[in-house]
Amino acid sequence: MGKTVETILIVDDDAQIRRTLDKVLRSWSYECLEAGTIAEAESRFAEELPGVVLLDIDLPDGSGLDLLTKLKEKAPETIVVMITGDVNVDNTIEALRGGAHDFIGKPISLQELQITIRNGIETRKLRKEVHEVRRARSQKFNFDQIIGESAGMKYAVEMARKVAESDVDSVLLQGETGTGKDLFAKAMHYASNRAAHPYLAINCAALPANLIESELFGYEKGAFTDAKKKKEGLFEQANGGTLFLDEIGEIDITLQAKLLRVLEDNAFRRVGGLRDLPLDVRVIAASNRDLRTESAEGGFRLDLYYRLSVIQIDIPPLRDRGDDILLLARHYINQMNETWRKTKPLKDLSPEAKSLFLRHEWLGNVRELKNIIERASILEDGEFVTEKHLPFHSAGGATVSATDGSRLFVLPPEGIPLHEVEMQLVLQALERTDGNLTRAAKLLDISRDQLRYRLKKAGKDKKKSASKTV
C-alpha cells in the first residue's frame, strides 16, 4: 500500500504567496489547495477536508482567527498553522487558544515552515494513535465486561456506573481476593470524564512502606542518598485521571496520615519537597479486608476509612452469586476456545460439573474459576467440561458448600481421611485471610496456638504456610 499524500490548504489573499507556497509544498510531496478569502476557504475545506491549513490572519472578508474557530469545530484533528506579517502577543495567544498548532511570521522561512508542517502531521498521528489506544481500552474495560445477573452484582455495577459519571474523587471497593476489584476500577475510569487522562495502579502490599511513599508522591533531587534527580510519583503522573490503590489496608499507619491529607487538601508534596503541588485525581482504593473492622481494631485509620468510604462498593464473593457461576464458566469457556483454537471447541459444563461448580466454595472467586476453566480446556478432549478434570473432584477431597446458612460436607464415594478435611479447612482459612494466623483461627473458632499446633502436626511450618502473621 502506497503512502498517503497529505493535502494542504493555503489561505492567503496574496496570490503570489499562494503560488510560491504551492510550488514549494508540491516539491515536498504534498498536494495543495488555494483560497484567497474566508468564504472560498470554507468551501474548499468542506469539499476536500485537508489535513493541514496554512491560514493568514488578515483576509479581505474577515479575520483568520474566526475561520480558525470554525475549522476546528468542523474537524478538531486538522493542523492549522497561522501566518501573518504582524506578529504580536495578543494574536499569538488567541490563535493558540483557538487550537492553532503553531504561528509563523512573514516573510516565511521555508525551513521553519517545513519543520512546522512535519511536526504538526506527526503530532496529529500520535494523537490519533493515543485515541485509538484509549478507545480500545475503553472497549476492553467497560461495565459490559462485568458478567453477572445476581442481585448483589447488579447493585454493585449500578453503583459503580453512577460513581463513574459523578465528580466523586474517592471510592472504596471492598471484596475478597479475585472478585474483580481491578476490573471495576478500570471500568469506572473509562466510563468517566477522566478517560482521556492516565489510569495508574499500585499494589500497596507489594512494596515496603518507604518505597510506597516515594512511588506515590515522588521525590526531589537530594531528598535521600540515591535521589540523583527529581522523580514524579504516581499521584503526579495520574493528575487529571485515576489512581487505583489496591490492597490499601497494607499501607503503613504513618503513610495513611499523609494519604488522608492529600485527599482532604487535593494537594501533595514530594519527598524532600518544600511546597505543596495542586492535584486533580480520582482515588479508587480497594481492600480484601473489612476496613471498618480493621479501623475499630486500630489496624487502619478510622478518619481515612471514612474519607474513602463516602462511596463504598461491596463486590459480592462468587459463592453468593448463584447462577452467575455458570454464566462466568460459559464466558471463560468461549474465551478459551478462542485462545487455544481447539479443533473441537468446548460447548459447556457437563451436568455433573455444573453441580460441582454450584457447590464449590470458590475461595479464589472469579480468578479461581477462570484458572479452572483454562486448565479444563487444555485437558478436555470432548465437547463438555467434565468433573474428572476439576481439581476439587474426588482426589481433591470433600466439597464444601452452603445450604440455608449451614455448611454441608459432601463425602467422596471413595472416602477421605478426616485429617485431610481438617487441613483443607485450615488452608482455606489461611488463604481467605492472606495468611493471617489470628484471623484464620477466628474463622475456625479455635485459638491461634491451636491453629499453630495443627500446622506443625501436618508438617506445615508457619513460614511456609503463611506469608504474613500478626
Compute φ and ψ for 103, nearest 5 degrees: -135, 125
Q: What is the pLDDT of residue 45?
A: 94
Q: What is the pLDDT of residue 468?
A: 41
Task: Give the pTM.
Answer: 0.64
**Residue 16: exposure state from Cβ atoms within 10 A (0-12, 13-18, ≥19):** exposed
Beta partners for residue 201, in sequence order:
244
Fold of 7-135: Rossmann fold (3.40.50)
Mean pLDDT, consecutive 10-residue segments, the chain of 470 residues? 77 94 94 95 93 92 91 91 77 79 89 93 84 68 89 96 94 94 94 92 86 88 79 92 94 91 91 88 94 88 93 95 95 88 86 91 90 87 86 52 45 65 80 80 83 72 40
The architecture CATH gives domain 417-470: Orthogonal Bundle (1.10)
* Distance between CA atoms of residues 233 and 262, nearest Å: 13
Q: For 39-86, what is each residue's pLDDT tens digit? A: 999 999 999 999 999 999 889 999 899 999 999 999 988 999 998 877
Share of the chain above pLDDT 70, in %: 89
What residue type is assigned to position 122 of the chain? E
Q: For 151-208, what is each residue's pLDDT tens digit? A: 999 999 999 999 999 999 999 999 999 999 999 999 999 999 999 899 999 999 888 8
Cell of 192: 468517566
Beta partners for residue 401, in sequence order:
408
* Distance between CA atoms of residues 117 and 126, nearest Å: 14
Listed in sequence order, the residues at least 6 apart from 276 whose beta carbon sits closer than 8 Å to its beta carbon are 265, 267, 268, 269
Q: What is the pLDDT of residue 407?
A: 43
* Distance between CA atoms of residues 301 and 307, nearest Å: 10
Q: Which CATH number fits domain 317-401: 3.40.50.1820, 1.20.120.450, 1.10.8.60, 3.40.50.10680?
A: 1.10.8.60
Evaluate whether 317-401 and 417-470 have a shared fold: no
Angle at 37 between CA 32 and CA 41, to 5 degrees: 45
**Residue 314: exposure state from Cβ atoms within 10 A (0-12, 13-18, ≥19):** middle
The full set of domain ranges for the chain reads: 7-135, 145-316, 317-401, 417-470
Fold of 145-316: Rossmann fold (3.40.50)
Q: For 314-333, what is each residue's pLDDT tens digit? A: 999 999 999 999 999 999 99
